[in-house]
Amino acid sequence: MLGYERKCLSSISIKANELHYFNKLTNKNQIAQYNVVTAIYTFLLNKLILDFDGYIVTGSNDKNIPLLLSCQSDLKLSFKEYLQKVKVEILETLKYSDSNNETVVEKLGIEDLRLLSNYSININSSNDINCNGILFDLKINEDQDFKIQVYYLEGFVDKIILELLIKNFNRFIVDLEDNIEVCLSEYAIVSEKERLQLLLQFNNTEVN
């Protein structure tokens, strides 16, 4: 997006000992880690950003090419059910990535899939995914510690929304065992106190 300055939030770290259930569930499998992280990220985007359409670009794959994922979340589902939907989407996209990318280029004349979404995610990837709105960058080291950096284009999204995104990602993944069966529509992004603070900040604009 021309005219917008790229910014970033302060990075946050999550120690492996706080991620016991995540590590148990994924067993250091990169695709499984990718699945869980992407599911949390996209469902939080759905809760926080009204016009999020479910499409994200990812650089996190072994083919070294950007991929376009469709992760529309039905808030009537439990997180466990949504996780399964995201898993199917990721595996299908990886399986047919070469032909899918060629089809996009042929039909739309767009060679860079990064232009197709304002939302992107990188997980332990060296791929060059530019921030076209919001970029969620996650590094998982050998000890399974997390380091998260969120980049954004100023003017595209309010900083406070991203602060809620990263705060809730941290909270959700640390408490993943308790959250695995939660209905997405019932997950509260903000406490009542935070809601009142947001109302004041946005000049009494209603916050759902």
Q: Is the pLDDT of residue 22 over 50?
A: yes
Query: Do 66 and 57 meet the contact criterion of CB atoms below 8 Å apart?
Result: yes
Q: Is the pLDDT of residue 208 over 50?
A: no
CATH of domain 6-201: 3.30.559.30
Q: Is the pLDDT of residue 62 over 60?
A: no
Q: Is the pLDDT of residue 206 over 50?
A: no
Locate the domains of the chain by residue range: 6-201
What does the pLDDT average to over 87-103?
74
65 vs 79: which has the higher pLDDT:
79
Q: Is the pLDDT of residue 99 over 60?
A: no
* Separation between Cα atoms, residue 35 and residue 173, nearest integer Å: 12
Q: How far is CA 24 from the centre of its chain?
A: 21
> 191: pLDDT confidence band, cut at 50, 70 and 90?
confident
| Per-residue pLDDT tens over the stretch 130-165 | 778 999 999 999 999 999 999 999 889 989 899 999
Q: Which two tokens stand for residue 125?
A: 């990837």
**What is the enclosing helix (H) or strand (E) of 6?**
strand 6-8
Listed residue (119, 30, 38) closest to 73, CA to CA: 38
Under DSSP, the state recorded for 183 is: B
CA distances from 103 to 48, 64, 88, 100 (A): 31, 18, 20, 5
Q: Is the pLDDT of residue 88 over 80?
A: yes
* Separation between Cα atoms, residue 130 and residue 119, nearest integer Å: 10
According to DSSP, the residues that pair with 14 across neighbouring strands are 146
Q: How far is CA 206 from the centre of its chain?
A: 24
According to DSSP, the residues that pair with 157 across neighbouring strands are 154
**What is the enclosing helix (H) or strand (E) of 83?**
helix 79-95
Of the chain, the percentage scoring pLDDT greater than 90 comes to: 52
